[in-house]
A and B are shown apart, each in its own frame.
Chain A
Amino acid sequence: MPNTGKSTLFNRLTGHHAHIGNWPGLTVDLLQADLQLSGRSVQLVDLPGIYDLRGHSDDEAVVRRFLEQTPVDLVLVVLNASQLDRQLRLALQVQQLGLPAVLALNMADEAARFGVSIQAESLSAALNQPVLPLSAKYRQGLETLQHTLLAQLEARADHPAAIPEQLEERLAAMDADLDGAMAELVERCVTLPARWRDSRSRRLDAVLLHPLLGLPLFFLAMALMFQGIYAIGVPVQEALGSLLDQFGQAVLKPLIAPLPALLQGFLLEGLYQGLGTVMAFLPVIALFFLAMGLVEDSGYLSRAAYLMDAFMERLGLDGRSFVLSLMGFGCNVPAILGTRVMRDRGLRLLSMLVIPFSLCSARLNVFLFMAAVFFPPRIGGLVIFGLYLMSFVAAMLTALLFRGRFPSNEPLVLELPPYRLPTAGQMLSRAWSEVKHFWLWSRRFIIFGVVAVWLLNNLPVGVEPASSASLAGQLGTLTQPLLAPIGINPKLAVALLFGFIAKEIVLGGLAVIYGQADPVALSRAIASDVSWPQALSFMLFTLLYTPCLSTVAVIRSESKKLSFTLLSVAWSLLLAWLVSFVAFQTITRLS
């Protein structure tokens, strides 16, 4: 079942060592991991969360196909203990298919708080399988679960792993009696509270979903969140940046001194500086993912879908598109993958067209740096805020312009889970894995990009680095007829060209182009070469044009249409140019 803490349980049981398994015949990747049960090692596969084995959704089809093709020793069904009144359906279906199963009733702590009491023993007798209330979040009942899993596996050791035959036919045959069976089981084994007991969610919703206050409060919360991230993150980032630079100067430089000057420059000013610049931003990114995780796991994010749906509907989108765009502020790639929840193609394509305008953390790197170089702190903060605003405006404009081309008519029914207080451990481990992923992901691009930029700057051999005679200089000059009107000089143009691969390269690239490893010296070099209107135009262009090659690749693979991918790239380039043109020309004419 979705929203039952299945992933938390999976992580708790397997300890984050999961890897993507490849299952023949399935179109999606499934997480799988070794589960150690007192010395015995078993494979645990994380199947998609589903409501109903007979359902028509992609996830439900995936689970059906998996069960038809893969012999399983044991099925672990995870339900939300406080919602058994509707979720027992899945457990009944699994039981009636004759699959050996253990039923985990997760979030038992919440069920107790809401006044739901469950007679696990009579439920277990009725379903003829172990039933265990537990809380993955608070690590309650996990040991018992492991013992039970082991006991069940051993008890069935001489049975061959099961594949249910004629799965769909049997599911169809039992469907008529299922409602009655479920109602009877709930009646017998679950005591629901006479009155809704979640007064916390009730009181919070009265304020946070208030017809007038709800939206302003949401935006206030978001603004405070970003303020907090910068207030803590930026000083840490600056300190880390100068620490890394000192390490490079004091330790690495003497170490590589015997190497030829060209190679020295490449290693220190190219590679080390490029990686260091991005590494310095990891604290900001970690804080960002921490905050987003908090908003998501607390249940506020689904409220955002509720609050924004009316507005998004008028843009041809829905509340989920808004939530995905918000996630896109971390990274666009998972946000675009997230559009899989949409079944209507028009809605999905329009969302995919809009998400790349979300100011992702890689672009934020560039803006934080540039804002610090060209503006005093107070104005710099405003510039960053303005870029976030621009990101929203660009997304809205795009939706309005293209909504006619991608019409949709998808119903929207979403669960609003109770408010929850995520645990610190849960949040930290999540932020940690996101940052690790970001770092591994971006590292490849940075190394490639920095090497390429450095080569372009230093070839042909003997040329003065980054001069107009170098390949980079020639390339930059070539772009001038198009980019001079928006204030992008040849050096900035080269950085933008490489930014097409990934925005993580832009800063490292600039460091290489200006031949300055030290952030302070780089700031000075750029500030003496570029005016602030030029810098602003550069930031606007960076915000709006294609975020990175990975985003393009994932749009291509998710839309399965080259023409749509090209439209997305071309539109973002056009919009970037137009906005930069208007901004640059207006400012230069006025001042």
Chain B
Amino acid sequence: MRAVSQLADLPTGATATVKALAADAGLRQRLEALGLRPGQSVQVLRRGWWSGPLHVRVGMTELMLRRRDAARVSLAA
């Protein structure tokens, strides 16, 4: 399988581990507050229509985030 480097490219249904957050302080804190931090495993549950947001699960929390913001979350190979 081709190594996926960022959350925005993770196929629907797949799980990966967060490596780093290349986001500005505001977004990084928001992601971390909701549990999306390095070392956590994240699963993409679905993608919205018309390039809509991703629906992901981290630990016991489910979130939506835009693909643009998901591109800032890099994944461990």
Scan A311-351; emit 1 where CB is below 8 A from any B CB, else 0.
10100000100000000000000000000000100000000
Q: How far is the CB of A371 from chain B (nearest CB, A)?
A: 34
Number of A residues, CB within 8 Å of B:
39
In the bound complex, CA of A209 to CA of B57 (Å): 15
Q: Contact string, A85-124, partner B, CB cutoff 8 A, digits 1/0?
A: 1100000000000000000000000000010100000000
Within 8 Å by CB of A196, from B27, B29, B55, B57, lies B57
0 or 1 for each of A391-425: is its CB under 8 Å from B? (1 = yes): 00000000000000000000111111110000000
CB distance from A86 to the nearest CB of B (A): 4
On chain A, the residues within 8 Å of B45 by CB distance are 205
B68 touches A83 (CB 8 A): no
B63 touches A413 (CB 8 A): yes
Contact of A414 among B48, B49, B57, B63 (CB under 8 A): B63
Q: Which of A205, A310, A343, A417 contacts B55 (CB 8 A)?
A: A205
Return B23 CB to nearest CB of chain A, in Å: 7
Nearest A residue (CB) for B53: A309
- Chain B residues with CB under 8 Å of A85's CB are 35, 59-61
Beta-carbon contacts under 8 Å, B30-50 to A: 30-37, 45-50
* CB of A212 closer than 8 Å to a CB of B: yes
B57 to chain A, nearest CB (A): 7
Residues of B within 8 A of A432 (CB): none
The answer to whether A413 and B64 touch (CB under 8 A), given A52-B29, A86-B35, is yes
Is B35's CB under 8 angstroms from A56's CB? no
With A306-B55, A310-B49, A310-B52 as given contacts, are A413 and B34 in contact (CB-CB < 8 Å)? yes
Q: What residue in chain B is nearest A86 (Cβ atoms)? A: B35
Residues of B within 8 A of A417 (CB): 62
- In the assembled complex, A305 has its CB within 8 A of some CB on chain B: yes
Q: Which A residues are in CB contact (< 8 Å) with B34?
A: 51, 86, 413, 415
Q: Is B26 an interface residue (CB 8 A)?
A: yes
- Confirm or deny: A163 has a beta carbon within 8 angstroms of a beta carbon on chain B: no
**Chain B residue contacts of A418, Cβ below 8 A:** 62
- Contact residues in B for A201 (Cβ distance below 8 Å): 62
Are B49 and A55 within 8 A (Cβ)? Answer: no
Contact B26 A83 (CB under 8 A): no
Residues of B within 8 Å of A305, CB to CB, are: 64
Is B55 in contact with A411, judged by CB distance below 8 angstroms?
no
For chain B, residues 1 to 51, give those with C-beta under 8 angstroms from any C-beta of chain A.
Answer: 23, 25-27, 29-37, 45-51
Q: Which of B30, B32, B52, B60 contacts A411 (CB 8 A)?
A: B30
* A108 CB → nearest B CB, Å: 14
B76 CB-CB contact with A under 8 Å: no
Chain A contacts of B58 at CB under 8 A?
86
Residues of A within 8 A of B77 (CB): none
Alpha-carbon gap, A411 to B46, bound state (A): 19
Contact among B30, B37, B51, B57 with A310 in the assembled complex (CB-CB below 8 Å): B51
Known A411-B68, A412-B65: A310·B53 in contact at CB below 8 Å: yes
Instruction: From known contacts A214-B49, A306-B48, A310-B49, infer whether A413 and B60 are also in contact, taking CB-CB under 8 Å.
Output: no
A56 to B69 Cα, complex, angstroms = 18
Is A192 close to B, CB under 8 A? yes
> How many Å lie between the Cα of A116 and that of B25 in the bound state?
31
Judge whether B66 and A415 touch: CB under 8 Å.
Answer: no
Say whether A415 contacts B61, CB under 8 Å: yes
Instruction: Select B60's contact among A83, A179, A205, A307, beta carbons within 8 Å.
Output: A83
CB distance from A535 to the nearest CB of B (A): 39
Contact call A416/B64, Cβ cutoff below 8 A: yes
**Distance of A418 Cα from B66 Cα, bound (Å):** 20
Residue A211 interfacial (CB < 8 Å): yes
| A52 nearest CB neighbor, chain B only | B33
CB-CB < 8 A to A51: which residues of B? 29, 33-34
Q: Is the CB of A411 within 8 A of B50?
A: no
| 10 contacting pairs across A/B (C-beta < 8 A) | A82-B60, A196-B57, A205-B45, A211-B46, A302-B64, A306-B53, A309-B48, A413-B27, A413-B36, A418-B62
For the A-B complex with A51-B29, A412-B64, A415-B61 known, give 8 more contacts whose Cβ atoms are closer than 8 Å: A55-B29, A192-B59, A209-B48, A311-B50, A343-B26, A411-B23, A414-B65, A416-B63
| Chain A interface residues toward B at CB < 8 A | 51-52, 55-56, 82-86, 114, 116, 179, 192, 196, 201, 205, 209, 211-212, 214-215, 302, 305-307, 309-311, 313, 319, 343, 411-418
Chain B contacts to A: CB under 8 angstroms: 23, 25-27, 29-37, 45-53, 55, 57-66, 68-69
The 8 closest A-B pairs by CB, nearest first: A51-B33, A310-B52, A86-B35, A310-B50, A411-B69, A85-B59, A413-B65, A416-B62
